Structure 1
């Protein structure tokens, strides 16, 4: 399959996913009532999450700095924050598009190899998956019925592939000789040139996994990961006050945790640019099913919450795009040479 066809299929699938999730979110909603609810929200409360959202991104940059510490001792937190915001902005346009831009920006700024920097993105995803699984396990223990009702389409088979990828990545990070053996056995006999190139890339790539093999970093990574998820959850809780959910439905911080888990799992299974559509459907579905909130009010909450997060990612991200003088998305061949 050529690259152009793959891109067409990818974007077609994304568009279908957005349309389908938007339809599911809107199908029982009175648009006039939705508009009235959005307009009548208390926007003083809507603005309060802004510094918390920015702080969550700053802590993500700090955690990335921890991951990069085996490669570079004095990476600039500001450069990392710039890359994080650019990554988020790109993800709002292209699904997972920011995962290439982030290491590209840092490898240019900090003068380190793209392969090593990209490996830390893989490590970050592993840590995020572990964190989400642990939070999900805890929430599932206390809210089993609510989770099942909120994610009726949740299928264990959909978790198998990410789990396998995670296990393989962890295996590589902890025991690189396995990959070296595979390269030597299956690549070298057929092409010494490709073997040497792949071996060189793998050497750079494994540097990014060194933080996993460094027990002294575990505590710091754990602390920073907890902070990230805490700062992700707090805005959802604050937004309850913008719609009087605390008074009308007695929603608390535990309900905000449930919402962050449901949206996290859903967007991981069905990613769209900026979680558009999917986030709206999942949050609306959860609030309607669990708390008996009217679809219009639930969707208004999801729309405003998503909107403020979206703006806080796109606006700073666009400014950092200008700072880094990025005029186009780098091609894969350009990245491989870095």
Structure 2
């Protein structure tokens, strides 16, 4: 007997995270008059757009039962590459941006090749790549922040008026990226193959899916997404910062886990990741409006992650 619509909604991986987001919004709306304002919601989206974009790439990799600890470092290096090429080398801004995106995609490709060719665990590969890229960022930048960027590189940080609220173009791009990857994962053969790979690599291979090529492709696409995150970061801060992204790898994993994606692969939705990123943003924003010290924001985020992973583990055991 086919499940009813309400039952399908309740049992989707995003049902719990969405309920948590709604409850958090209600709680902070009751405790802060400033929370339910267009300007504050615009600020929340601006605060989560970089980590949220990183989390899109992280979602792709986690769906294949992998993980990427190097995405924040790759983003920082991409930002330094595009800003230094534009400012120090005088390269046209669009070419500099393209070069930064290409470099990030290349590191994603390298991650994928190492995972596939040498059969190393993704955790080890990306942990090593984290250190490599971190060092390259500081060597290439000479620990200097790149300033005086051309306007084209900060365009996504500009705002437009939407219903009396100023919204950045970068926020709009982030939402469009989530919709794009929601379509790719949910409505294309490529997306179905990604889920199949995460569920069982051997079964996926036996059904004719070129699993090795798919793994490399997923890591490369994720690297390209990290490059877009680098552009969003540059446009928001107005500088190329070699210190950027040092905790964003963990923040992106947090968003993915809170959004209902299983760390064991094969289960989850990219729109759930958006909800997870918003949960983190809403909690940090709401607690700040209430005057709660930032250390407690970190504490609550950690508790939420543990709860989310526990629920995922219990769900897996129940479904066996």
**TM-score with structure 2 setting the length:** 0.35
Judging by fraction of residues, say which structure has more helix. Answer: 1
Larger radius of gyration: 1
